[in-house]
Structure 1
Amino acid sequence: MSNKLAVSLIALALAACASAPAAKPKKASDEPRVPAPWTTDPYPSTYRAYPGTPTLVTNVTIYDGEGGRIDGGSVLFADGKIVQVDQSIAAPAGATVIDGTGKYLTPGIIDVHSHLGDYPSPAVAALSDGNEATSPTTPEVWAEHSVWPQDPGFSRALANGGVTTLQILPGSANLMGGRSVTVKNVYARTAQAMKFPGAPYGFKMACGENPKRVYGSKGRMPATRMGNVAVDRMTWQKAVEYKRKWDKYEKDGGDIPGRDLAMDTLAGVIDGKILVHNHCYRADEMGNVIDMAKEFGYHVTAFHHAVEAYKIADMLKANNICAAVWADWYGFKMESYDGIRENLAILQKAGACAMIHSDDQNGIQRLNQEVAKALAAGRRAGVAIPDEQAWTWLAINPARALGIADRTGSLKPGKMADAVLWNGNPFSTYTRPEKVWIDGALLYDINDPKRRPVSDFELGQPGEGDVK
């Protein structure tokens, strides 16, 4: 090749390079980004339904959990789901058929406020894992990391109470106690194998006497109700600023914001992905919390205990907040002094979202009887609520408060076959669960000792003999 030709080729190459568009500088927004930490669960459910068989219950009184009643009806479930609910259903080939004459079929009871597994029975200090009472705000702790699946309370709640789903919450020593977990009441080796698949996390908060007593007695803030609100507000403000950093990162990219496990939970609450369950007794304090929630952009899903909810039933309805209450457990401390037995009935009459809850390892075994007491109190006061309507306090309303009403909480086709066959009227003190199904699997049968499993740590109850 001649020198002249070589020079010409080099010149052409340089010209081509000069005319080619310059590569655009890479922007931070082009970088792959990690998702906001509160949008994913690092400990996902490993729950697997127990195998069941197609089952048809006939000639039974049905409370469907949403206020409906069918006398002499039938329910068919298969493959873990409710298939059909009707007056009469033909039995498919191979189905187990149960005659429910004189009996009642309801959705499984859902307890929206439990500490089973975190405060197991018997109550000993070594197993007391519900309160991280080392700081007034501990959003970073998760109740599921304390759940002990061998707590005898689980099998008692199943067999004696017909409880198929429950929310396990941290205790109420703290203003912000941490995340709750919703579980199905099944026998499992780990908490992850009990976790209700896809259920959103809850967030336990508390107001009133408990936090100010626990921390005021240590000579630190909060020691008053105004201190309670101040600490809450300061913490929420940090969460707003933390979420703002992540929102900016998601929009513009750049350096990944530093992780803060406590703020992850609070940002998830503000984002609507984690549901607030607030321990609160007095009407005025519930009003303060509602105002605070509006200030920082989160929503209170339910007030728990709420012995004065009847005073603000209209406010609860207007703000789409549920009230989880007892039938007649009040007066044991000053903030619970103004409770009345008609609380649930008044809430129902006002159109508010109302439900029963236990907060107790014994009370969870008789929530149907607690509702019966509340019904009777309402009727004495002239608020006549039908039995089938009252079952919403045990089923669909707590399911709504837990964010799982699309999957459980009522006997509707397509929902999980979580059901209880009662050997009589479930609002009678003489009635007990005869059979309990979870996802269509028969996990308890009063007539079959092999279907009455108990924890290895069950010490027995009065009147029980050896189960062979």
Structure 2
Amino acid sequence: MPSNQIDTLFANGTILDGAGNRFDGADVRVRDGKVVAIGNGLERSEGTTVIDATGRWITPGIIDPHSHLGNAALPFVPDELPVWDVNEITDPNGADMRAEHGVRVQDPAFARALAGGVTTLQILPGSANLFGGRTVILKNVTGVTVQDLKFPSAPAGMKMACGENPKFSYGEDGKAPASRMGVVEGMRRAWARARADIREDQTDERYKILRAAMNGEIHVHIHCYRAEDIAYLFGMAREFGFKIAAIHHASEAYKIRDTFLTADSCAVVWSDWWGYKLEAYDGIRANAALLHSSGVCVTLHSDSPSLGQRMNVELAKAVAAGHRAGIDIRPEEAIRWITFNAARVIGLEDRIGSLEPGKNADIVLWSGNPLSIYSRADLVMIDGAMVYDRFDPALQPISDIELGQPASEHI
């Protein structure tokens, strides 16, 4: 974790606090790695570093709740896809797999995401399996091993996947599942075994993990696109007594907004990905805005290193789509999609996601309105330590695989 914490006062900026509030010409005070105060004209105490934020905007650090950085690492090599460490395609039930064991912390995409204001990421296994395995939550700091990046005492998560990805990963080899019927039944059989098998000598780790999910000890995250598939999964959750933290991708979530509200689950969506496969055909740009207008917890995600560098632009596109659909979303509400709501998805809303006294000082100072394509992250702070400075090369992390390369050739 960052060791160079400094007492800091961001002065006279426009603050979007992630809790739904906007403060103009206001200050944020940071001490001992925590936010201690927000308001106008805070005292400039001795020993505090004052950063002039006049004309600039301040937000919580961005949280990416669905990333594959490290386990689908850059650089992309055409022949590398089969050996990416994002999927273990040997058994549809890989609940005992752990994404952290495939993370390469030298992936240059981590630094690119940091320059885009991303301070926390949930790294998930891929979507080839019905049960892909355990997720890992990372702070976007430099380190030698994944242990250096792990968010302390973060809640456990597990990835599931429905629809085209698992059926195409197995069906072509004659191994179930080969259809949506097989996908749903394969999931039900696993949950049923986990519920029924309570013997003390049970050693199959996969079903221990499913039982932990049923006991509320593990957050369940599900890759799913189509409305009917999503509805089946919510029904399965009711049947077997587990809670779905979020449906990820959720291209047709706008069709079943009441279902999300009843389940008290979040939708993790893109701004405008559409049509690249059949189950994404009914995706619409106003998806996030429609969910938000109905009271559904909605957040954005990257799923790719390119989008992971530009989460604020993704937010701007989704908000603009809402405006075109007649849904007016203020910046102080919109910013919650990539801060507080994302923290809720990964179970860390009590520690990050908003600038409130007592929470971790994960802060981004933007050159302008973060919903503008022209704005850049000038400074990024994690736990009260400055980890990125757009104007200081010493605070611009470079991965080992980029060392010695001209800057123009950086990935």
Match of 2:233 in 1: 289
1:459 Cα shift? 7.2
One-letter code aligned to 2:86: G
Corresponding residue for residue 143 of structure 2: 188
Q: Following TM superposition, by how much is the alpha carbon of 1:461 offset from its aligned partner in structure 2, in angstroms?
A: 9.8
Count of matched residue pairs: 407
Q: How far off is 1:305 after superposition?
A: 0.4
Q: 2:165 aligns with which of 194, 199, 210?
A: 210
CA distance in 2, matches of 1:422, 1:460: 30
Map Cα deviations across residues 296-353 of structure 1 (whole Å, 9 max, x no partner).
1111110000010000111101110100000000111110000111101100000000
CA change 1:315–1:89 in 2 (3 A) is: same
Q: Which runs of 5+ in 1 are unaligned?
A: 1-47, 246-255
In 1, Cα distance between the equivalents of 2:408 and 2:13?
Answer: 29
1:426 aligned onto 2:367: no
For residues 92-107 of structure 1, what are the structure 2 equivalents within 5 Å? 92-107=45-60
1:457 partner SS? helix
CA contact (8 A) 1:58 1:75 kept: yes
Structure 1 residue identity aligned to 2:201: P
1:192 counterpart SS class: helix
- Residue 143 in structure 1 maps to residue 96 in structure 2: no
Q: Partners in 2 of 1:100 and 1:196 — Cα distance?
A: 28
- CA deviation digits over 1:215-261, x for unaligned, max 9? 1101111111011011111111111123x33xxxxxxxxxx523221
Within-5 A mapping of 1:343-362:
343-362=287-306
- Alpha-carbon distance between aligned partners in 1 of 2:406 and 2:29, rounded to the nearest angstrom: 36
Deviations 1:340-371 (A, max 9, x none): 11101100000000001110011000010011
Give TM-score scaled by structure 1 length.
0.85
Residue 23 of structure 1 corresponds to none
Counterpart-to-counterpart distance in 1, 2:274 and 2:34? 39
In the alignment, the residues of structure 1 paired with residue 232 and residue 76 of structure 2 have an alpha-carbon distance, to the nearest angstrom, of 34
1:100-153 C-alpha deviation (Å, 9 max, x unpaired): 011000000000000001011012438610000111111010001111111111
Residues 396-435 of structure 1: CA deviation (Å, up to 9, x unaligned): 0010111111000000000000000001111111111000
2:178 is the alignment partner of 1:234: no
Matches within 5 A, 1:26-105: 48-105=1-58
Q: What CA distance in whole angstroms lies between the structure 1 residues aligned with 2:64 and 2:203?
A: 33
1:118 aligns with 2:56: no
Does 1:403 find its partner at 2:347? yes
Question: Quick check: 1:119–1:127 contact (8 Å CA) kept in 2?
Answer: no
Q: Distance in 2 between matches of 1:62 and 1:461?
A: 38
In 1, distance between residues paired with 2:76 and 2:215? 37
Residue equivalent to 1:261: 205
Give SS of 2:229's match. Answer: helix
Distance 1:193 1:394, change over 3 A: same
* Equivalence for 1:342: 286
- Structure number with bigger Rg: 1
**Normalization by structure 2: what TM-score?**
0.96
Separation in 2 of the partners of 1:461 and 1:319? 50
CA distance in 1, matches of 2:403, 2:319: 34
Structure 1 counterpart SS, 2:202: coil
1-structure distance, mates of 2:405, 2:7 = 33
Distance in 2, matches of 1:199 and 1:263, equals: 22
CA gap 1:268/1:58 in 2 versus in 1, 3 angstroms = same
The aligned residue for residue 320 of structure 1 is: 264
Aligned mates of 2:365, 2:203 — CA distance in 1: 48
Partner of 2:124: 169
Match of residue 157 from structure 1: 113
Letter in 1 for 2:213: V
Runs ≥4 in structure 1, deviation > 4 angstroms?
459-463
Which residue of the other structure, out of 298, 313, 318, is the alignment partner of 1:369?
313
Report SS of the residue matched to 2:143. Answer: coil
Shift of 1:286: 0.4
Which residue is equivalent to 2:253? Answer: 309
Q: How does 1:19-30 map to 2 (within 5 A)?
A: none
Secondary structure at the aligned position of 2:400 is classed as: coil
Q: What is the DSSP-based 3-state SS (H/G/I as helix, E as strand, rest coil) of the residue aligned with 1:91?
A: coil
Q: Give the % identical residues.
A: 51
Greater Cα offset, 91-100 or 122-131: 122-131
Deviations 1:256-291, CA, capped at 9 Å, x for gaps = 523221112111111111101100000110000011
The letter for the 1-side match of 2:351 is: R
Distance 1:345 1:51 in 2: 39
Structure 2 unpaired stretches of 5+:
none
Q: 1:379 to 1:293 in 2, by over 3 A?
A: same
Out of 394, 397, 403, which is 2:338 matched to? Answer: 394
- Calculate the aligned-residue CA RMSD, in Å: 1.6
CA distance in 2, matches of 1:379, 1:304: 23
> How far off is 1:464 after superposition?
3.6
Mark the CA change 1:325 to 1:236 in structure 2 (over 3 Å): closer, same or farther.
same
What is the SS of the residue equivalent to 2:103? coil
Code of the residue aligned with 1:271 in structure 2: it is N
User: Which residue identity is paired with 1:291?
Assistant: G
Amino acid at match of 2:139: K
1:48-97 deviation line (CA, Å, top 9, x unaligned): 34221100011100000121100101001011100111122111211110
